[in-house]
Amino acid sequence: DTEPKSHDEL
C-alpha cells in the first residue's frame, strides 16, 4: 500500500 499522492507535499 503506497501513500496517497497528496502526502508527497509539505
In the complex, which residues of this chain contact another protein (CB under 8 A)?
3-10
Per the listing, cell 509539505 goes with 10
Q: Considering the complex, what minimum distance in angstroms separates the CB of residue 1 from another protein?
A: 10
Separation CA 10–CA 2 (nearest Å): 17
Task: Tell me the closest approach of the beta carbon of residue 6 to another protein, in angstroms.
Answer: 4
Task: State the minimum distance, in angstroms, from the CB of residue 2 to another protein.
Answer: 9
SS (H, E, C) the chain: CCCCHHHHCC
